[in-house]
Copies of this chain bind each other. A is one copy, B any other.
């Protein structure tokens, strides 16, 4: 069992009604890996610049994450994102994006990364995602995230990439937008006709919905009273979901997919409790187990 993730490795400057942080470690691959690292061996693929420090690598190593495919570009700058959230934390605004070393990124996977059983293509340009998918031939389960930008500017490439993966994990509004279908259940069915056997529609504080062949499952988000920064919640969800499937499941059964949804929900819920990676970086395995039990109890309808 091992899992490879490609995605952004970033510095994020974030302001929410509950505070702000400047140039925190972030990015889809980082949030994903820190969550997935609780369950399985994770290889991170992506570029960084000279500004990426030893302390950042050490944080990843502390969770047992393999950073040997993190490519250091001499003279380059790490991807940078600045954004802020409204009082309603569901509303995010991007104030600045600096691609930095991502502008010229050409993924080259080592044998260890290319040999992973599970692959996650974080939210980057879909041509890049597809090139990683091609190099990671042995992966028997590949998941993908994307965003409205690629749906609008690179839809054909995104659809070509989607045809090569098993699982699409998008916000529910993105599922609708991608399939030009306002009904989520219909949009998810249409998306599965393109190839994937699993669609996860992320719904922010409302939780997430799972569509499979003829099945449906949904979980609410945890009813948190302290939410400070939603950045990276979707990637933490994906990390919990795929990390659990890779590290602790023998097969892709309905039961395992449902448990994976719960671990995704739990990891995302910790992510948003503090800024950037702060909460998940300090997280313990028994806290995950306790919150998983809490979530199961909160959603149990009984006989």
Contact = CB atoms under 8 A, between A and B. Distances in A.
A259 interface: yes
A206 interface: yes
A182 interface: yes
Interface stretch (A47-55, A58-66, A216-224): A216-224
A299 interface: yes
A104 interface: no
Contact of A218 (B185, B186, B299): B299
A76 to B, nearest CB: 39
Interface in A182-231: 182-186, 189, 203, 205-207, 209, 211, 216-220, 223-225, 227
B88 A185 contact: no
Contacts of A149: none
Given A298-B218, A301-B296, A301-B299, A184 B205 contact: yes
Q: How large is the interface on A (under 10, 10 to 19, 20 to 34, 35 or more residues)?
A: 35 or more
Copies of this chain assembled into the complex: 2
Contacts of A82: none
Contacts of A75: none
A255 interface: yes
A214 to B, nearest CB: 11
B259 A186 contact: no
A284 interface: no
A249 to B, nearest CB: 13
A203 B209 CA distance: 14
B183 A217 contact: no
Contacts of A302: 255, 258-259
Given A87-B182, A220-B220, A258-B301, 7 more contacts: A89-B182, A207-B220, A217-B299, A218-B220, A219-B220, A258-B300, A295-B301
Interface of A: 17, 87-89, 182-186, 189, 203, 205-207, 209, 211, 216-220, 223-225, 227, 255, 258-259, 262, 295-296, 298-302
28 contacts: A88-B182, A89-B182, A183-B224, A183-B227, A184-B205, A185-B224, A186-B225, A203-B206, A206-B207, A207-B218, A207-B220, A209-B220, A211-B223, A216-B223, A216-B298, A217-B299, A218-B220, A218-B298, A219-B299, A220-B220, A258-B301, A258-B302, A259-B301, A262-B301, A299-B299, A299-B301, A300-B300, A300-B301
